[in-house]
């Protein structure tokens, strides 16, 4: 118990064959393939196949017809609630009671349906119903169908922004939401329970909720035209600059590099402001912490790329969840195969034994 690590930093809790974030070299590989080779060459749904089935001949299917029971328009919470509900609606079997193939098919159905739930919730937030199935069927890729379902139309720039973002953020080792999915799977729960638990973990600002806080920062810098002053004020008030720092990477985050390039290629109107803020933030963080590398993380340019696709900031955690269904599904299957309950220990540091009357 002497090697307690707050936040489990550096603790190796699982072995995985799914993805390899290359901490020092700044590369990310899915099943050994660098994401630089995937972006722009295969659509997201095939990356799902690569991650889950280790095959590009396999892909995430289209969602089957299903009507969510109660959408509020708050996509992250709609997604968590409706995904949990699918466990009973579809009578999903517990992982301990299924074969791998059946669990894999449950995860494929769930992944596709989760994207559809987010698109429908986004339509509710916009005050309209989702597009009919014949309109959605005109799309070629999952990203295009997602936009058609939500908006009834799909601008090719928006499709490219979303497909690139989804591929870059499809999987990333043992992050908080994936760990949550694996812990839930390790108890033998069903796939809907594991996926919805992961959605909850992703929603926090220190994980998938960060892009929602990046755009307001960019707005503020655009208003004042003073990125240095903004950074100084955040750091002096002991705040965190959203979109910077990472528990794993001690080099440039490769996803950030690709998303930055994409934001520029797609002509993001926020690109210049983002680059100015990035420069000021990196310089100030380097000066403040010369021995601790704090680089731009995936969330900073994610926010800029998603803005190109006119994704409202409050929807960004749900967009992240759409991407991460691939990684979660792959990890839930990998966890199922280990068959070992995840149950670490806690060191008790509370009061010594005492009588009830002493409390």
Tracing tokens 């559809």 back to the chain, one arrives at: 116
Mode of pairing for the β-strands spanning 19-22 and 33-34? unpaired
Residue 247 interacts with ligand ACO (CB under 6 A): yes or no: yes
Residue 245 interacts with ligand ACO (CB under 6 A): yes or no: yes
Options 246, 278, 331, 335, the catalytic residue: 246
173: alpha, beta or left? (left if phi > 0; alpha if psi -120 to 50): left
Total chain residues near ligand ACO (CB under 6 A): 18
* Among 246, 270, 324, 331, interactor with ligand ACO by CB under 6 A: 246
* Among 146, 244, 249, 301, interactor with ligand ACO by CB under 6 A: 244
Residue 289 interacts with ligand ACO (CB under 6 A): yes or no: yes
Asked about 299 being catalytic, the answer comes back as yes
**Mind giving me the DSSP string for 84-119?**
HHHHHHTTPPPGGGS-HHHHHHHHHHHHHHHHHHHH
15: alpha, beta or left? (left if phi > 0; alpha if psi -120 to 50): beta
Closest CB to ligand ACO among residues 223, 289: 289
Sign of the torsion formed by the C-alpha atoms of 316, 319, 321 and 323: negative
Residue 294 interacts with ligand ACO (CB under 6 A): yes or no: yes
- Residue whose C-beta lies closest to ligand ACO: 245
> C-alpha angle with apex 194: 48 to 313, nearest 5 degrees?
70
Residue 151 interacts with ligand ACO (CB under 6 A): yes or no: no
* Among 49, 76, 243, 317, interactor with ligand ACO by CB under 6 A: 243
Asked about 158 being catalytic, the answer comes back as no
DSSP element (H, E) containing 303: helix 298-308
Minimum CB–partner distance for residue 63 and ligand ACO (Å): 25
* Residues in contact with ligand ACO by the rule CB under 6 A: 175, 206-207, 210, 240-247, 289, 292, 294, 297-299
- Active-site positions read 246, 299
């Amino acid at each position: 118990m002497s090697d307690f690590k707050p936040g489990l930093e550096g603790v190796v809790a699982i072995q995985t064959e799914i993805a390899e974030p290359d901490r020092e070299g700044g590369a990310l590989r899915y099943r050994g393939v660098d994401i630089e080779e995937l972006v722009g060459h295969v659509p997201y749904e095939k990356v799902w196949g690569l991650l889950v089935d280790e095959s590009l001949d396999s892909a995430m299917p289209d969602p089957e017809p299903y009507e969510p029971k109660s959408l509020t328009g708050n996509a992250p919470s709609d997604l968590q609630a409706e995904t949990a509900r699918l466990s009973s609606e579809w009578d999903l079997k517990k992982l301990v009671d299924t074969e791998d193939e059946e669990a894999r098919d449950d995860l494929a159905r769930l992944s596709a349906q989760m994207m559809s739930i987010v698109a429908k919730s986004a339509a509710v937030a916009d005050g309209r119903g989702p597009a009919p199935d014949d309109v959605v069927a005109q799309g070629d890729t999952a990203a295009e169908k997602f936009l058609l379902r939500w908006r009834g139309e799909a601008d090719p720039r928006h499709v490219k922004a979303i497909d690139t973002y989804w591929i870059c953020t499809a999987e990333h080792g043992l992050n908080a939401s994936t760990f949550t999915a694996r812990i839930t799977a390790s108890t033998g729960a069903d796939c809907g329970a594991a996926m919805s638990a992961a959605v909850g973990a992703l929603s926090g600002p220190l994980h998938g909720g960060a892009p929602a806080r990046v755009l307001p920062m960019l707005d503020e810098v655009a208003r004042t035209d003073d990125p240095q002053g903004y950074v100084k004020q955040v750091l002096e008030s002991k705040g965190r600059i959203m979109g910077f720092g990472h528990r794993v990477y001690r080099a440039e985050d490769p996803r950030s590099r690709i998303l930055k390039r994409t934001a520029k290629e797609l002509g993001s109107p926020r690109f210049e402001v983002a680059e100015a803020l990035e420069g000021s933030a990196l310089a100030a963080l380097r000066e403040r912490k010369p021995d601790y590398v704090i680089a731009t993380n995936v969330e900073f340019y994610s926010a800029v790329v998603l803005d190109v696709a006119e994704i409202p900031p409050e929807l960004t955690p749900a967009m992240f969840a759409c991407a991460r269904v691939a990684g979660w599904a792959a990890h839930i299957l990998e966890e199922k195969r280990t068959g070992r309950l995840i149950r670490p220990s806690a060191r008790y540091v509370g009061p010594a034994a005492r009588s009830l009357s002493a409390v």
